[in-house]
């Protein structure tokens, strides 16, 4: 029961965060949920603690989605690789990833945690890329360390303030385009 309530608070925080960004208050979350602020403080002692757990909640969900993709039957190596690189649970469609970059200045520890989570856990993806190289799907001279750096840099750029707004594209669509460009180039 308590774990469910904690998850409800995290999910609600994401929804309020999408509207208010870092300006959200514990009162805003409590009002949105129809609970007392005291109930939130049973689980989180500060706004920073909620943001810290929100990062884990989001990235744990992405890791679960990656595991599902790795276990999904009937996918070609290329399909599995593409899906893995753009792994994103459907339930996260409401998350405004463009606002997560705002954490950098106000909550640097949480932002660092987010970037660590982005940069880690690449082993399954790298294994698929190497398998693709062995099977002739990807170029023999492809350096997947460079590939990873490019992917990380692209995703990190998406978190910067106005990048996504200027492009008028959703995070998911932008991520899929990056994957497509990195895997197939920009040929017509």
Residue 186 DSSP one-character state: T
What are the CA-CA distances from residue 165 to residues 99, 143, 147, 160 (Å)? 11, 32, 25, 10
User: Which residue range is the domain that position 145 belongs to?
Assistant: 74-184
The reply to whether 142 falls in a domain is yes
Q: How many domains does the chain fold into?
A: 1
What distance in Å separates the CA atoms of residue 43 and residue 86, rounded to the nearest whole number?
Answer: 32
pLDDT of residue 23: 92
Helix spans in the chain (H): 2-20, 26-33, 37-43, 47-71, 77-85, 103-106, 108-119, 123-134, 144-158, 163-167, 171-184
Residue 98 DSSP one-character state: G
Q: What is the pTM of this model?
A: 0.83
The reply to whether 50 falls in a domain is no
The reply to whether 15 falls in a domain is no
Crossing angle between the packed helical segments 47-71 and 2-20, to the nearest 10 degrees = 100
What distance in Å separates the CA atoms of residue 26 and residue 165, rounded to the nearest whole number?
Answer: 27
The reply to whether 23 falls in a domain is no
pLDDT, mean of each 10-residue run, the chain (188 residues): 88 91 94 95 95 91 92 95 84 71 88 88 92 90 90 81 70 85 71
pLDDT of residue 186: 52
> Which pair of structure tokens corresponds to residue 116?
């660590």
The reply to whether 144 falls in a domain is yes
The reply to whether 104 falls in a domain is yes
pLDDT of residue 31: 96
The reply to whether 32 falls in a domain is no
pLDDT of residue 131: 94
Write a three-state SS string for 157-172.
Answer: HHCCCCHHHHHCCCHH
pLDDT of residue 65: 92
The reply to whether 36 falls in a domain is no
């Amino acid at each position: 029961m308590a774990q469910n309530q904690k998850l409800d608070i995290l999910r609600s925080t994401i929804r309020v965060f999408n509207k208010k960004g870092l300006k959200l208050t514990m009162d805003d979350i409590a009002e949105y949920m129809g609970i007392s602020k005291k109930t939130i403080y049973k689980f989180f002692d500060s706004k920073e603690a909620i943001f810290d757990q929100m990062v884990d909640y989001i990235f744990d969900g992405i890791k679960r989605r990656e595991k599902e993709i790795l276990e999904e039957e009937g996918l070609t190596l290329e399909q599995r690789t593409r899906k893995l690189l753009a792994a994103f649970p459907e339930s996260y469609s409401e998350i405004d990833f463009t606002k997560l970059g705002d954490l950098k200045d106000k909550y640097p520890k949480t932002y660092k945690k987010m970037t660590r989570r982005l940069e880690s856990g690449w082993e399954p993806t790298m294994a698929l890329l190497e398998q693709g190289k062995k099977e002739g799907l990807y170029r023999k001279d492809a350096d997947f360390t460079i590939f990873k750096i490019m992917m990380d840099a692209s995703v990190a750029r998406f978190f910067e303030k106005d990048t996504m707004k200027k492009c008028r594209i959703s995070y998911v669509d932008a991520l899929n385009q990056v994957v497509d460009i990195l895997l197939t180039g920009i040929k017509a």
